[in-house]
Chain A
Amino acid sequence: MNILSEAAVEKALDKKMNDVSYKMIGQDVSVYYGDKRALYDVNLNVRENTVTALIGPSGCGKSTFLRTLNRMNDTIDGCRVTGRIALDGDDIYDPSIDVVELRARVGMVFQKPNPFPKSIYENVAYGPRIHGLARTRAEMDAIVEKSLQRAGLWNEVKDRLQESGTGLSGGQQQRLCIARAVAVSPEVILMDEPCSALDPIATARVEELIHELRANFTIVIVTHSMQQAARVSQRTAMFHLGQLVEENDTDKIFTNPDDQRTQDYIMGRFG
């Protein structure tokens, strides 16, 4: 009886494990900027086709963790990462991994919209061109159109693809950056406070977009807005002082968090 029930529990657990497939795995991830430690042994996995929100007071290491996922920290002088981060089971810090290829698979959208000072078309075509994703002009046109459509920008810009991307409004620029990231068909898209420079209407459009993108991409988003995390994400990870406090279903985090610090942060007691 006893044995049976234990087996049943195990079976149930197994089933649960099998349901979840992890796109990226972070084990004991620590990051140092020079002598300063910014992350302390973070264990955080990212589920496939899920939006994972990273929340926490500013300076707690959200962006730092996000950037370890596509090795953007490599571009910062004196930054050192330890621990293991895997994409589909392969360690991305392994010397045999080509960082260029990694970043094609794990794209990034930044806090401030940063379109290149080029035409809208060229902004979107930039990635595909670098990675040789289109052989003909027609193929490139198709990629550009599809990416802009996915980013919900096509109808607004289809008549002015040759105009400069920097001439768009802030919200349009950010969606252009999302289209640019989408154009290389990444598997994961990292977003670092993508709406912090946008007005509420533009923010709503981007959030809507994130919802739609979830069908095709795995998304990790840093946000300082609780409401945004609650609206767009399925999983939420709470950081504090360089440590992962807890990670759970978004509903659970926002209704009944395990950790007092999460509770306090969500209630606006610090941050």
Chain B
Amino acid sequence: MSISLLLLLVAAIGVTGYVGGNRRAQALAGGRLSSLHSRPGYYGSLVAIWALLPAIAVLLVWIVASPVYIGSTIRSGFPEAVQAEPQATQNLNYNMVGAIARGLKLLTPEERATISADAAAARALLSSKGVPLAADPAPYMVEAAQNLDRMTTTSRMIVTVLVLAAALAGAVVAYRSVAPRLRARNRVEGVMLAGLVGASSIAILTTIGIVASMLTEAVHFFSMVPAWEFFFGTVWDPRFAAAGATDSSGQFGLIPLLAGTLYIGFVAMLVAVPVGLFAAIYMAEYASSHFRSVAKPLIEVLAGIPTIVYGFFALASVGPFLRDISAQLNGLATGSYASFIQAQSVLTAGFVMGIMLIPYVSSLSDDIITAVPRALRDGSLGLGATRSETIKRVVLPAALPGIVGALLMTASRAIGETMIVVLAAGVAARMQLNPFEPMTTVTVKIVNQLTGDLEFTSPQTLVAFALGITLFFITLCLNIYALYIVRKYREQYE
């Protein structure tokens, strides 16, 4: 029986359980629903939950445990010589066994007999059935495959029986427990609460898992390259990873990348902060509610544009435009039409990133400015202050901590931004101050180091994890600090 059919059956038991529980509760109440502790639906749900949860738990355990158990049993049946081979080769062998086992299902009994007798015929026969093999199987493989096939079939049968039994038993036990004083609602809500807690802990656990995996790889990297050389090195020159070589031949200085990241982020903020803030002030203080209701969603749509689109925009329009206009300007000034702004430059990347950030700045600041209580504005206006005086002297100072928080959050986006800089900033890891020259960022280098043939043993690849974890901690600190500021600001007006 296939897994999906099994699930369908379990679901059917669950639905039946729901209906049954519901009916029984109503029957017990005998028309006086108020004599029940909970509404009948809750009794139904309780029965359904008892039908589904144990069955699914059994199924999950089987899905995880059975391949492990079967795999180790089959492998232990491999000949001694094979078991002495390296792990990688064994894995290949086992995969081949698996493929043969899958192929066996498609064969007639006579064909199976042929294969058992003559392993060499297996490859041609199986590939004619649409199951390609990488090599001619050894005789022990065919034998193992037949074992595997048998074991799989048995284990499926067992699980089918177990799951159905669990579903039925759960449903029956719960059905019989239905009684007017049974606190069905509390129990159902308890299960729902557990589900919600589970969902949120999945999010948290995933984050922890990601950080942990990055950390282990980064630690691996730092065992090859000293941490101080990475954090304080001023030269980025990782060289190529020579195949199989595990010594650190390149230089992995973080400083030039960090400098590029911060410089481009700074230019971006230079564009985004004034424009975004002024837009927010206009939206919050001056715009009519009609204009606001149109413009605010529009700006938020802008925030939803994938950054790769901004990257195209930088690469195809802004970069060439800046290059050409600089050539014209240079021509007018000196007569030589050499462009002094390169197409890929700090300016291009920073400018386009700034445009990308405008909606973040404006919509975050807008929320914060509108959160300033009306009473403060009235107080100022009532003293004869004009609107702009009120904004300048009362609203903005009151909103300032929150706005700073919003800007920090925006800055952390700028630092983590990848696609725009990959396309528009260039790849030269240099430390310099000319915004018209290309520079590179941490994110660009992560992409570079992880593109192409990967070998997760060389520092050239592993450095990406060290860069990643560094970036993660920088943005984490920025975000925590920003949240702290924003929250403190909120409390002020509760």
Contact = CB atoms under 8 A, between A and B. Distances in A.
Interface stretch (A110-118, A220-228, A240-248, A262-270): A110-118
- Identify which of B379, B381, B382, B386 gathers the most chain A CB atoms within 10 Å of its CB: B382
Nearest to A100: B384
A127 B492 CA distance: 23
B382 A70 contact: yes
Given A114-B376, A116-B376, A116-B398, A75 B381 contact: yes
Contact of A127 (B377, B378, B384): B384
B382 A126 contact: no
B189 interface: no
A17 B380 CA distance: 37
A231 interface: no
Contacts of B376: 114, 116-117
Interface in A76-111: 77, 100-104, 107-108, 110
Interface in B344-389: 373, 375-386, 389
A117 B373 contact: no
B289 interface: yes
Contact of B382 (A101, A108, A117, A118): A108
Contact of A130 (B375, B383, B492): B383
B382 A100 contact: no
Contacts of B381: 72, 75, 103
Bin the interface of chain B by size.
20 to 34
Nearest to B395: A116
B378 A110 contact: yes
A160 interface: no
A114 B394 CA distance: 11
A116 B382 contact: no
Contact of B383 (A77, A117, A181): A181
Contacts of B377: 75
A104 B384 contact: yes
A60 interface: no
Interface in B385-401: 385-386, 389, 393-394, 397-398
Contact of B379 (A70, A104, A110, A130): A110
Contacts of A72: 378, 381-382
A123 to B, nearest CB: 9
Interface string B192-215: 000000000000000000000000
A130 B378 contact: no
Interface in A28-66: none
Contact of A126 (B375, B378, B383, B492): B383
B399 to A, nearest CB: 10
Contacts of A108: 378, 382-383
**Taking each of A72, A75, A115, A184, which has the highest tally of chain B beta carbons within 10 Å of its own beta carbon?**
A75
Nearest to A128: B383
Among A77, A101, A102, A126, residue most surrounded by chain B Cβ atoms (within 10 Å): A126
Contacts of A104: 383-384
A117 B379 contact: no
A184 B383 contact: yes
A179 to B, nearest CB: 12
B379 A116 contact: yes
B156 to A, nearest CB: 69
A66 B379 CA distance: 15
Given A70-B382, A116-B394, 9 more contacts: A75-B377, A103-B383, A104-B383, A114-B375, A114-B378, A130-B385, A130-B389, A131-B384, A180-B379
16 contacts: A77-B288, A102-B384, A103-B382, A103-B383, A108-B378, A110-B382, A114-B375, A115-B379, A126-B385, A127-B384, A127-B385, A130-B383, A130-B385, A177-B379, A180-B379, A184-B383
